[in-house]
Amino acid sequence: MNSHLVRSCRLEEVHNVLEAIGRALDGLGDQSVCVLHCMQPHRSSFYHQLERDFGVSILLCHPHDGIKAVIGKIALGVSALIVIDQYGTLPSLFSRVGEQATAALYAINRSLLAVVPDLARLNVSEIAEVIKEDPAHLVYQVDEDAAGEDGRVLEVLSIGVECPQALREAVGVS
């Protein structure tokens, strides 16, 4: 059974967790891959800048939501899945995306990388549900909108039953 956890932390702690996740992913080698989900729409220029600055691969999301979605894409842009190969960039990439939109980090079994293009055809909530079907997944999301006066934010985690121990330790869950 997957574990789900919501906890409060300081924003500075998020940086440390992301660094730890990056080190854990580096240590896992080809076992896992990291995908950052930019959940709110942006123009393609935002994503092209991320490609240039961070050397990531971008898959623009194109869910089939009807004419309203088509008009929205034209006016606002699209959400995206960002495949990350250089895990040392996680804190700064997550911060850049998080300044502009809600983002979720997905660490999944590398064998699932082949289905990531198919995920780009789903809506935001469906993507997270498919990711959580991987028994080795880690989902790490930060809700800065919920920040209190004390500057604390909410971390939202989902951890699969087969999530590698190094990733569990990176987020402080044994």
Closest CA to 18 of 135, 155, 147, 124: 155
Q: Is 4 helix (H, G, I), strand (E, B) or coil?
A: strand
Domain count, the chain: 1
pLDDT in tens, the chain (174 residues): 788 999 988 888 999 999 999 999 999 998 999 999 988 788 888 999 999 999 999 988 765 555 445 544 454 577 889 999 899 999 999 999 887 778 899 999 988 888 888 888 887 788 888 899 999 999 999 887 666 677 788 899 999 999 999 999 999 997
Q: Is 6 helix (H, G, I), strand (E, B) or coil?
A: strand
Domain coverage including residue 154: 3-170
Helices and strands in the chain: count of H runs, count of E runs:
7, 7
CA distance 14 to 81: 20
